[in-house]
Structures are given as structure tokens and as C-alpha cells.
Amino acid sequence: MKSMPSWIYALGALIFVLLFNAFATPGFFEINVLDGRLFGSVIDILNRVAPVALLSLGMTLVIATRGVDLSVGAVMAMSGAVAASLIARPEGNILLGLNFGDSVFLIVLAGLVTGLLCGLFNGLLVSRARIQPIVATLLLMVAGRGVAQLISDGQIITFSAPAFASIARGATLGMPNPFWIVVLFAAVILVLTRWTALGLFIESLGSNPIAARNVGINTGALLLFVYSVTGVCAGMAGMIAAADIQGADANNAGLYLELDAILAVSVGGTLLSGGRFSLVGTLIGAILMQTLTTTILTRGVAPELTLVVKALVVLAVCLLQSPTFLHMLRPKKVAA
Amino acid sequence: MNRFLSQERLPVLITSVVAIAMFLIAGFKYDNFLTLRVFFNLFSDNAFLGIVAVGLTFVILTGGIDLSVGSMVGCSSIMLATLIRDSQVAPPLAVGIVLAFGCLIGLTQGFLIARFELQPFLVTLAGLFLCRGIALRISQQSVQIDHPLFDQWASFSIALPQKSSLSFAALLLFLVVGIGWYLSRLRPFGRAIYAIGGNRQSAELMGVPVRKTLIGAYVISGICAALGGVVFTLYTQSGNAVSGTGLELDAIAAVVIGGTLLRGGYGSVPGSLLGVCVLGIVQTAITFDGTLSSWWTKIVIGVLLLGFLLLQRWIESAALSRRALAPSGTN
């Protein structure tokens, strides 16, 4: 039991859904090459999962410290609004003073800095003001969309910038760019947490905050770090979303994605009570959720049922993680 | 005892001062703001939010949270409209069915949280998805209600001096606040709620029926959210599956501003009504101004929420340090 990775259930479920599709959905695994780029359902899943995957990477670290970040959806809306404002430069925009021209690098940097600032704000509230994470990040979740609308002046800013749009729509080495962005972020975070002591610090903070402080871990700085990472990830996700629709919609960008991200993390085997975390599991969880969504859509089932399916998945995962529930199951098996 | 009183009363006191100050400042700034009409409309316009917030107060007092209230509003709204229009159910019976549905969802959530000790946050998150999914499954278009009795409810109001009036929704709100206050302050159930929020282990050891009480709190929240949906349907006279999106945040904000600690154990039902009033004043003032865009509401509410959260922290740490300084015998 101990030797099995925590994400084994998620992987099993993913294989099950993929097998189901292999038999039930004709052409699910078909991959075509067009203009040196791969197309197909599987590629589409890897492309569409990018925003949620980015959010859940950061969320994994936050949840490992016993926290949660509800503001990621709103942060996406803010960074999207900043990027769109800098590109389209609409009349009367409050960011008109900043002119980055067509430099995609500077615009992406601005979006990431927006995310970083939001993350620092959340981190300060949690580590300095000691406000519960749910509440501290709720604040930015409420006010963040207001700020995003303030930045975009209440408009849905649309733009036509092929260079920026290629963040979401372009492809490199045959795979869509969002896929590579996720790979890059995942690699950096994996190296940071698994090749340095950082991951160990995060796990000890989540397992026992008082003990972690007593052994000399700077818990305040650590919290600040994990919320900042989540902010930056959300900033990047916001730019993928903005580049995908070539516009910024402050009301709907990233709406409910915080819930999807939490779902991906918990399905991926990271306990919501903190401590041990698994980034690989999170990625599998995110892909599983996206595969489920795509399956439901391609099967012609009513799309609103995805919400119901997600609800049932959350409950199933919660129950499987609940010691009380597992304890209840055991004697029943004996009796049978 | 005195320090608990101050810890509990101080936030409500500060909220009252803030509410009155905001009302007066807006009154000086905008013509016709300082009238009974604006005052009573605060209750008529925000009745659904108030009803939802009262139910949520019980859950937050136990130290839990209910994220499903917003989508419950949407779900009960579309369910009510469909029942009346398509199934030709008499409105009182339809309201009864909708409230029973809210009760059922609350019961399920409460059972999962109390029996299996699941995190309230996650269970109600699943509830959020489930209710919105069911609502969208019922109908994705808004459903108009055209029923004489329902129209009568919607247009009913009590005339008050200065052309002001109280709508049916506002009267319902006062009724719900009254019942909520009675349950939380004068019944053993209410005492159990506060005890669990204060310290679950101690409550359990003292023989408080923890599971039953927790389930009760979520049932109340579910019923109140469903009733909030009914009231919301009264305003628009039509059901819409997406109504109430994000309402859970406004409701949580109202409860927190109303002086209830999110940790549980401290707070009051009338305080939440006060919190709703503060949100209502912000919204009304921004509407009165005309030049400020609606998104300022969100920003102002966020800033207010931040202020009250920092205040809560400050009161808590002040109480803690006082306890630490006090001779050990008094504790």
C-alpha cells in the first residue's frame, strides 16, 4: 500500500476513460498532421487543459501548506485585462502610460508581474495578517474582477495581434504552444521543489506548522513563495485565455476555474489537509478532468451534465480520502 | 465573560457605526438619499441576499462554509418557474417543493460533512456544481411566470410614510431574520451551534449532539438559499438557471461584515442583516452617483471586507494577549 503512488487512482480512472473512448468514440485516438502540426482529440485535450493545469500546479503547493487559493480565476481575468490593454491601447485606458509596442516578451512579463503582485498580496494576508487562506483569497476573488473591469474600463477589449495570439494558437515542434508552456512551468516547479529542499519544507509546513517553525523553517517566507508561484501561474493562464479568444473578458475569464484546479489537485492524490503533495498527480488529475469534459462533449451528452459529473467526482474523491468512510467500508466487506 | 461580550459585540458595533456613517455621508453627497424610501428599499432590494446570509450565518457559526448557496438560488428559481409554468403546479405547492429540494441538498451536504468528517468547503463545492448542473438541465432559457397568485405576491407591498413601502420580499426577510434569531439565541439548537463553533471537541465531550446540529445548520442554509431563490424569482417574475452566480461571495461578505467570525463560535443573525445593509448602501450610493461604474461595488466591498477581516484579527489577538496576561486562575 505504501509503495503505491498517491495518484494511482487518478491514473486508473484516466486509463479507464481513455479505454472507454477507444471503443465508444470512433477516431478518438486519430492524429493528423497538418502544416507540420498535430491535430486530434488527444492533442486537443493537451491543448485545452493548459490553463487549468497551470492553475493546479500552483494550487498543489498552496494546498500542501494547508491553504487554498480561490483568487486564481480573478487573477487570470486581471492579467488578461492588463495584457489586452497593453496590446489594444484603447482610448482612456488607465494603462495608456505604458507603451510596450508589439513586444510580446514585455507584455507577457507585465501579465506575469500582475499575477506575482496578486500572489504577494494573498501571501502577505495569509502569512503576516494570519487570515485563513479561504477568506484571504476570497477577498481578491471578489475585488479582483472589479479591478479587472477597472483596468479594461468595463469593456471587453478585443485585439488582433498574431504574435501574442500565437501563445495560445501557435504550435512548436508539432505540439500546441500551451502544452509547451505547461511543460516549462511544470519542469521549473518540479526542479525547485524536488531537487532542492523547498519541497521538503513545504511538506513539513503542511504536516505540522508549529514543528516546522520550531525546526527553523521561515514559514512566512515559504507561504509568501507558494502564493506568489500560484499568482504567476494564474497570470500565465490568464494570458493563454486572452490569447485564445484574442480579447479580455473581465467577467468570464477564468470563471469557476479555481474550482476545477482544486478538483484536479485533489483527484491527483494531494490530500486537502496539507502535507504530502504530488505535482505529477496534479497533472494527471487535470488531464483526467479535461478528458472527461471532452468525452462528454464528443459523446453528444448535454454539456451542463459536466457540472454534475464533476460534482460526483469531487464527492467520490472526498469519500475515498476520508478515513471515517474507509473505516466504515471495511467491516462491511468482512460481513459480506 | 466580559471579554467575550466585547469580542462578540465590538464588530457589530463597528459595523453599525460604519453603516450609519456611510448612510449619512451618502445622504450629504446625493439628493434624496437620506429618505425613508431609500432606507426601506435597502431591505426590499436585498431581501434575497439577506435570506441567504441568515442561513449561511448558521453554517459559518459552526466554523463551516457553504459555497452552494449561489447556485441553489439559481436552481430553485428555475425549478419554481418551470413547476408553475410547465407543470401547472399551484404556486404555494411549487414553493413547498422547491424548499423541500433545498432541504434535501442541505441534508445531503450536512450528512457528508458531519458523518464522514469531509471538508465543508469541498462538499459544498460539489453542491455548487451539482445545483448549477441541475438548474441548467431543467432549462437554459429563462422561464417567464404568468400566474395571478404569483403576480399578487410580487406586487404586494405595505405602504409607509413618505411614499416608501415594504415589499413582500422585505417582510419575508424580517420573518426569516426573526426565526433565525429565535433559533440561534433562544433554542438549545442555537447554543449547540455556538458550542461547536467555539470548540468542537469540548462540545462533543459536553454531550452536545454535534452531528445532528451540524446537519441542522446545513439544512437551514439549504432551505434559506432555496427561499432566497424564490424571492429572487419574485423580482424578475421569471426563473433563470444562471441567477445567483457569485452570490455566495456576497453572502459570505455580508456575514463577515456583520461580525460573525469565520472561525466560528462568535456572531449573530441580526449582525448579518446589518452586513447586508452595508452592502446595500454601497450599491445604492454607487447607483445614485451615476458616474461611478458598477464594478466599483465589487472593489468597495472587497476593501470593506479586508478592513473587517483585519479588525477581526486585531480583536482576536488582543483577546488572546489579554488572556495570556491574566492570572492563570481566571482562565
Tens digit of each residue's pLDDT (9 = 90 or more) over A10-57: 888 889 888 888 888 777 788 888 777 888 888 888 988 999 999 999
**pLDDT at residue A335 is higher than 90:** no
Total structural domains within chain B: 1
Helix B47-61 to helix B210-236 angle, to the nearest 10 degrees? 170
**Residue A324 forms contact with B (CB below 8 Å):** yes
Which CATH number covers residue B165? 1.10.3470
Q: Write the residue in A250, A273, A311 that is nearest to B126 by C-beta.
A: A311
**Residue A68 forms contact with B (CB below 8 Å):** yes
Identity at B258, one-letter amino acid code = G
**pLDDT at residue A119 is higher than 80:** yes
Q: Write the residue in A149, A308, A310 that is nearest to B295 by C-beta.
A: A149
Q: Do A259 and B128 touch (CB under 8 A)?
A: yes
- pLDDT per residue over A194-220, tens digit each? 899 888 899 888 888 889 888 888 889
- pLDDT per residue over B99-131, tens digit each? 999 999 999 999 999 998 888 888 898 898 899
Give the model's pLDDT for residue A275. Answer: 82
Residue B166, SS3? strand
- pLDDT per residue over A36-47, tens digit each? 788 888 888 898
**Residue A270 forms contact with B (CB below 8 Å):** no
- Mean pLDDT across chain B: 87
Residue B165, SS3? strand
DSSP E strands in chain B: the ranges are 143-144, 157-160, 164-167, 238-239
Rg, Å, chain B Cα set: 20
Helix A305-321 to helix B120-138 angle, to the nearest 10 degrees? 160
Task: Locate all alpha helices (DSSP H) within B62-167, ordered by sequence.
Answer: 69-85, 91-116, 120-138, 148-155
Q: Do B309 and A142 touch (CB under 8 A)?
A: no
Q: What are the angstrom distances between the C-alpha of A96 and each of A66, A101, A147, A148?
A: 40, 11, 16, 15
Residue B255, SS3? helix
Q: Which three cell numbers stand for residue B120?
A: 465543508
**Residue A16 forms contact with B (CB below 8 Å):** no
List A residues 138-177 in contact with B (Cβ-Cβ < 8 A).
138-147, 149-150, 154
Who wins on pLDDT, B327 or B255? B255
Give the model's pLDDT for residue B131. Answer: 93
A129: how many CB neighbours lie within 10 A of its CB? 13
* Chain B partners within 8 Å of A302 (Cβ): 137
Residues 6+ apart with CB under 8 A from A76: A51, A55, A234, A235, A237, A238, A241, A253, A254, A257
Q: Residue B41 phi/psi, 5° resolution?
A: -65, -25
**pLDDT at residue B240 is higher than 90:** no
Among residues of chain A, what percentage have pLDDT more than 90? 30
Q: What is the CATH number of domain A35-322?
A: 1.10.3470
Q: Do B132 and A146 touch (CB under 8 A)?
A: no
Is the predicted ipTM greater than 0.95, yes or no?
Answer: no
- pLDDT per residue over A138-182, tens digit each? 888 878 888 998 888 888 888 888 888 888 888 888 888 999 999
Give the model's pLDDT for residue A336. Answer: 43
Q: Would strands A32-34 and A37-39 be described as parallel, antiparallel, or unpaired?
A: antiparallel
b or e along B41-53 (b: 16 or more beta carbons within 10 Å of the residue's beta carbon)? bbbbbbbbbbbbb
Structural domain of residue B248, as residue ranges? 2-325
Strand partners, B157: B167
Per the domain annotation, does B113 fall within a domain?
yes
Give the model's pLDDT for residue A97. Answer: 73
Give the model's pLDDT for residue A114. Answer: 94
Longest dimension (CA), chain A: 73
DSSP E strands in B254-329: the ranges are none
Q: Write the residue in B132, B305, B313 that is nearest to A129 by C-beta.
A: B313
Q: Do A308 and B129 touch (CB under 8 A)?
A: yes
pLDDT, average across residues B82-101 = 92
Per-domain residue ranges of chain A: 35-322
Q: Do B116 and A147 touch (CB under 8 A)?
A: no
B96: how many CB neighbours lie within 10 A of its CB? 12
**Residue A326 forms contact with B (CB below 8 Å):** no
Size of interface A-B (CB pairs under 8 A): 122
Q: Write the residue in B116, B262, B295 that is nearest to A154 by C-beta.
A: B295
Q: How many residues does chain B have?
A: 331
pLDDT, average across residues A50-74 = 93
Mutate to test the interface with B, among A125, A156, A308, A312 (most CBs of B within 10 A): A308
**pLDDT at residue B3 is higher than 70:** no
Per the domain annotation, does B330 fall within a domain?
no
Check: CB of residue A60 under 8 Å from CB of residue A268.
Answer: yes
Query: Hey, CA dihedral for B191, B195, B197, B198, is it positive or negative?
Result: positive
Residue B28, SS3? helix
Q: Do A304 and B302 touch (CB under 8 A)?
A: no
Closest CA to A283 of A269, A293, A294, A297: A269
